[in-house]
Amino acid sequence: MTAPFRKHALALATLLALAAAPFLGFGDGFALSLLARAMILGMAAVSLSLLVGGAGLVSLGHAATMGIGAYTVVAFDAAGVSEGLIVFPAAIAAAAAYALVTGAVSLRTSGVHFIMITLAFGQMAFFTTSSFSSLGGDDGYTLYARTEWLGTRILDNRLTFHFLCLGLLALVWVGGNLLLGSRFGRVLRAARENPQRALAVGFQPYPYRLVAYVMAGAVGGLAGALLANATEFVSPALLSWTRSGELLFMVILGGVGQIGGAILGALAIVLLEESLSHLMVYWRLVFGPLLVLSVLFLPDGLVGAPLRLRAAIRFASPKRRNADA
Amino acid sequence: MPDPLLELRGLSKNFGALTVTSDVSLTVLPGEIHAIIGPNGAGKTTLIHQISGTLRPDRGTIRFAGQDVTALPFERRARLGLARSFQITSIVPGFTALENVALAVQARSGSSFRFLRPVANEKALNEEARAALDTVGLGRVADRGAAALSHGEKRQLELAIAIAMNPRLLLLDEPLAGAGPEETERLIGILRELRSRYGILLVEHDMQAVFALADRISVLVYGRVIVTGTVDEIRDHPEVRTAYLGEDALA
Amino acid sequence: MSMLLVQALNGLQFGVLLFLVAAGLSLVFGVMDLINLAHGVQYMLGAYVAATLGVWTGSFWLGALLAMPVALLVGLALEWLVFRHLYRRDHLSQVLATFGVILTVEEATRALWGSAPQTVLEPSGLTGGPMGGVEIVAGLIYPTYRLVIIGVGIVVPLLLWFLVERTRAGMLVRAGATHPAMVSALGVDIRRLFTVVFAFGAMLAGFAGALASPIFPVAPGMGDTVLILCFVVIVIGGVGSIRGAFIAALLVGLLDSVGRAMLPDLLRLVLDPSSARQTGAALASMLVYIVMAAILFFRPAGLFPGGRAA
């Protein structure tokens, strides 16, 4: 049990820290809403990590599934419906349906084509939401009320909302890990590493990839519905392609080898953005170069950083090198 | 004579003006090793591609186990029991040896749309996979990462994967390529044991291995089968000697 | 009917601009296997530089001309700083690093020029005055400047075709796209070939931005929209194919312009005016992508598959 424990130690520690945070001085409204944002984006990032790291599918349009989940909440809100038992399943189903249709087309291609096509479909969703003039168009839409559950407004309590997000995040993470270790996950992983081999033993990767794509889309929809509740405001910016790029950054920063890394990646990026934007107006002048540098110098993400550092130190020390030889 | 397991009839394939397969007809019987030899560029690998289903022939039919499979894709033929090995070793490097083989067992035992139960603990899959590994003599490295295996072990692993598919026909594309003398010895031994269980279509450059193993041999030159016969018939065939074997190959 | 003609001309001219950006993107990808999201940045910089230098020098054309070397220099600097470290990396890393470049350069643009769109007047001197136009059919006057863009869009592709198909450098570019190892075995410095192709693509995109500056709002995000449409163009046309990019660019330009103009009117035949407007607008913005999906469904490798496959 120690090996799997060590494998997941970092993600577990992050989740525990998130659980303790409200009681360690991060319990005010500002901190909680920031953490909620990080956890929700983390959920979307974990589902994207499942695609990128698990199935080898680099989607540059994952924000669209979040946006569709959020806009489903908005559409129901505009129609006066805010019951969670209706709104949340609908948001998840809408995002999954979008993933099914766009995935069916995108997955016929691979590699760079796949990146470009997912990006294009994401942009399509972006422009489509901007053209909904009854839902605010470009300007966005402010929710009338947070989603209710069986008529009670439990989501209005920030602490409840915090632990709801945390619980769902943990669930997505555990579910994702189970998925990767299952029969289904084995086929996905084999098809990522060597599609020819998967075919040779009788597996056509397409249906497996499509199902994974739809599952990730469904989680994206759930995250979107939560995000709409967290900010009580939804605009097309949520679907912009830069948001998809950010999600990918979270995945790679956490390390693609572990889907739990995306949780740490999301937390790191949300906190970094927040503190940078408080320090300066043009904060992306720092954020952008940091992104570039982390891609160039941390190919294994934050998770791999200590290992790389150790290797670098070992390489630099001639004594150790002789000893190794 | 028993019904052939595999039957090619009038198979032809062109790449533009280049004819790579020309009116090839041959059969593989159950329990038989049928070898295909021929000089480089004779179209052996292209032929394998068409039989396994990664390349569509322009004309002709392929019947496998009594069924016309000419229009079936690669993975469907695999599920019917047509197992193929590759000229360049094709395994999943990130899997253990056992997992590579278990994947093949999994493909033929029940649905793989199962999402929660850890597959690594599925006893039935692992036991069959272990048996296949034992058959090729890899039992002791079952839990080692496939990428860390030696070249010869990888070739053996590929055989184990093919066996684990529980196939009727093995389609082996130069299984001895790149193997050292000792590894070659071991692989020949394994193939000899497998012959009774499956039909085998063997493409191989190593003439000694071919002559030691094959029941029948077809000689392919410029995409055309110039002769099919027993080992002795091929050895003595004048056209074969000039067209392919040369004078020193059998010396 | 004349309405449709105007929209078709607008679409043609948008398609031409798309081609100028997409050609560079496609070449860079075809030759270097680099997916460069930051290519749209050159387009944006071209527009900004043309706008600023046009005011300084008092001549739009001088500004547009100067935009090319500036885009070239920025492109080379980025290539040296970032892109050349990415050639051997996977596509995921390339996407992210070039995404970081976009964030940085767009933010720098915002810091230098502000977030508000710059206005650039259509150049005078063609027919005397910014409102100058040509009567293309009886009673229909179309701005001369926009016709010039279309003209440029016919000349440049021909030039490009000549360069790629009929010159030694072009032969190397084509060979480099399919057999990089062989080309370098022939003693060609593949690095230098990369740099030349990259510089050329950057310049074309900068030129397109300069041309576009009087027509489209010059704002920090302008490169992204064009970039993504260029991906659509490349996907439809087939990666690495100049001919495919040209045809697909015109197709996308036309679909976009004509769709936006016609769909709301068409829908009014079946829907009430307000929902026709909303549905029409939504459908028009989806149209290009739906067509892309349809083409891909039948031809996953695009209309003119060729060059690098994956």
Q: What DSSP string runs through chain B?
A: -PPPSEEEEEEEEEETTEEEEEEEEEEE-TT-EEEEE--TTSSHHHHHHHHHTSS--SEEEEEETTEE-TT--HHHHHHHTEEEE-SS----TTSBHHHHHHHHHHHHSS-S---SS-GGG-HHHHHHHHHHHHHTT-GGGTTSBGGGS-HHHHHHHHHHHHHHT--SEEEEE-TTTT--HHHHHHHHHHHHHHTTTSEEEEE-S-HHHHHHH-SEEEEEETTEEEEEEEHHHHHH-HHHIIIIITTTTT-
Rounded CA separation B71/B74 (Å): 10
Question: Chain A contacts of C86, Cβ < 8 Å?
Answer: 296
Q: Under an 8 A CB cutoff, do B116 and A204 touch?
A: no
Query: Of the CATH numbers 3.30.70.270, 1.20.1560.10, 3.60.15.10, 3.40.50.300, which one belongs to the domain with range B1-81+167-251?
Result: 3.40.50.300
Select the highest-mean-pLDDT range: A60-74, A276-290, B40-54, C77-91: A60-74
Nearest CA in chain C to A108: C300
Number of domains in chain A: 1
* ∠ Cα A244 A284 C41 (to 5°): 70
Residue of B238 and B229 predicted with greater confidence: B229
Mean of the per-residue pLDDT values of chain A = 90
Q: In this prediction, what percent of chain A has a pLDDT beyond 90?
A: 71
pLDDT band at A317 (very low <50, low <70, confident <90, very high): low
With 70 as the cut, is the pLDDT of residue C127 above it? no
pLDDT of residue A324: 42
For testing contact with chain B, the best of A178, A186, A187 (most B CBs within 10 A): A186
Output phi, psi for A62, to 5 deg: -70, -25
Q: Under an 8 A CB cutoff, do B118 and A203 touch?
A: no
- Given a contact cutoff of 8 angstroms between Cβ atoms, the answer to whether C32 and C199 are in contact is no
Mean pLDDT of A22-46: 94
Domain span at A185: 2-279
pLDDT band at B120 (very low <50, low <70, confident <90, very high): very high
Binding partners of B (≥3 Cβ pairs within 8 A): A
Residues 6+ apart with CB under 8 A from C48: C109, C113, C118, C209, C213, C218
Rounded CA separation A200/A194 (Å): 10
E strand segments, chain C: 133-137, 140-143
DSSP C126: S
Q: Under an 8 A CB cutoff, do A108 and C300 touch?
A: yes
DSSP letter string, C128-163: SSTT-EEEEETTEEEEHHHHHHHHHHHHHHHHHHHH
- Given a contact cutoff of 8 angstroms between Cβ atoms, the answer to whether A259 and A7 are in contact is no
Residue tagged 């929809």 (tokens): A221
pLDDT band at A2 (very low <50, low <70, confident <90, very high): low
C271 vs A: CB within 8 A: no
With 60 as the cut, is the pLDDT of residue B212 above it? yes
Q: How far is CA C182 from the centre of its chain?
A: 31
- Given a contact cutoff of 8 angstroms between Cβ atoms, the answer to whether B8 and B177 are in contact is no
Give the amino acid at A2.
T
- Please give, rounded to a whole number of angstroms, the shortest distance from the CA of A245 to a CA of chain C: 7
Q: Under an 8 A CB cutoff, do A194 and B84 touch?
A: no
For A:104-163, CB contacts with C below 8 A are 105, 108-113, 115-117, 119-121, 123-124, 127-128, 130-134
With 70 as the cut, is the pLDDT of residue B251 above it? no
Rounded CA separation A231/C270 (Å): 38
- Given a contact cutoff of 8 angstroms between Cβ atoms, the answer to whether B198 and B190 are in contact is no
Residue among B146, B151, B98, B157 at smallest CA distance from B125: B98
Lowest mean pLDDT among B175-179, C122-126, C153-157: C122-126
pLDDT of C8-42, one tens digit each?
888 999 999 999 999 888 888 877 788 889 999 99
Residues of B with CB under 8 A from a CB of A: 52, 73-76, 78-79, 83-84, 86, 90-95, 99-100, 102-104, 106-108, 111-120, 122, 161, 165
DSSP letter string, A7-39: HHHHHHHHHHHHHHGGGTT--SHHHHHHHHHHH
pLDDT band at A322 (very low <50, low <70, confident <90, very high): very low
Of C29, C108, C278, the CB nearest to A134: C278
In-domain check, residue A258: yes
C-alpha radius of gyration, chain C, whole number: 20
pLDDT of residue C55: 84
The arrangement of strands across the sheet holding B169-173 comes to B82-85, B169-173, B199-203, B33-37, B216-221, B224-230
Mean of the per-residue pLDDT values of chain B = 90
Nearest CA in chain A to C285: A127
Question: Chain A contacts of C297, Cβ < 8 Å?
Answer: 105, 108
Q: Encoding tokens for residue C215?
A: 């027509």
Which residues, in sequence order, are bridge partners of residue B12?
B59
Task: Calculate the alpha carbon distances from A161 to A84, A88, A145, A226, B172 in Å.
Answer: 13, 15, 14, 9, 59
Residue tagged 């670098």 (tokens): A312
For A:22-61, CB contacts with C below 8 A are 52, 58, 60
Task: Calculate the alpha carbon distances from A320 to A50, A309, A313, A314, C14 in Å.
Answer: 38, 15, 9, 6, 62
In-domain check, residue A261: yes
Output phi, psi for B192, to 5 deg: -65, -35
pLDDT of residue B241: 74
Task: Calculate the alpha carbon distances from A139 to A34, A78, A136 in Å.
Answer: 22, 15, 5
pLDDT of A89-138, one tens digit each?
999 999 999 999 999 999 988 888 899 899 999 999 998 898 888 888 88
User: Which contiguous run of DSSP H or E holds residue A141?
Assistant: strand A141-142
Binding partners of A (≥3 Cβ pairs within 8 A): B, C
Residue of C199 and A314 predicted with greater confidence: C199
C263 vs A: CB within 8 A: no
Each domain of chain C, given as residue ranges in start order, spans 10-220
DSSP letter string, C89-114: S-HHHHHHHHHHHHHHHHHHHHHHH-
Lowest mean pLDDT among A221-230, B6-15, C238-247: C238-247
Which residues, in sequence order, are bridge partners of residue B21?
B13
- Please give, rounded to a whole number of angstroms, the shortest distance from the CA of B248 to a CA of chain A: 37
- The reply to whether ipTM tops 0.85 is yes
Nearest CA in chain C to A129: C282
With 80 as the cut, is the pLDDT of residue A318 above it? no
Task: Calculate the alpha carbon distances from A22 to A19, A31, A32, A164, A263 in Å.
Answer: 7, 8, 7, 13, 18
**Helices A63-78 + A111-130 axis angle, to 10:** 20
pLDDT of C174-214, one tens digit each?
777 667 677 777 767 777 777 888 888 899 999 999 999 98
**Alpha helices (H) in A21-135, listed in sequence order:** 29-49, 63-78, 84-106, 111-130
pLDDT of A209-236, one tens digit each?
999 999 999 999 999 999 999 999 999 9
- Given a contact cutoff of 8 angstroms between Cβ atoms, the answer to whether C46 and C68 are in contact is yes
With 80 as the cut, is the pLDDT of residue B45 above it? yes
With 60 as the cut, is the pLDDT of residue A323 above it? no
Residue among C55, C82, C31 at smallest CA distance from C193: C31
Residue of A305 and A142 predicted with greater confidence: A142
pLDDT band at A25 (very low <50, low <70, confident <90, very high): confident
Q: In this prediction, what percent of chain B has a pLDDT beyond 70?
A: 96
In-domain check, residue A287: no
Rounded CA separation A192/A187 (Å): 9
Of A119, A127, A288, the CB nearest to C231: A119
Residue tagged 């003609």 (tokens): C5
Rounded CA separation B56/B15 (Å): 11
Q: Encoding tokens for residue C18?
A: 């798309």
Mean pLDDT of B197-218: 90
Rounded CA separation A199/A178 (Å): 24
Q: In this prediction, what percent of chain C has a pLDDT beyond 70?
A: 92
Strands A233-234 and A141-142, by their bridges, are: antiparallel
Question: Chain A contacts of C106, Cβ < 8 Å?
Answer: 284
Output phi, psi for B63, to 5 deg: -110, 135
Residue tagged 């070039």 (tokens): C98
- Please give, rounded to a whole number of angstroms, the shortest distance from the CA of A264 to a CA of chain C: 18
- Please give, rounded to a whole number of angstroms, the shortest distance from the CA of B164 to a CA of chain A: 9
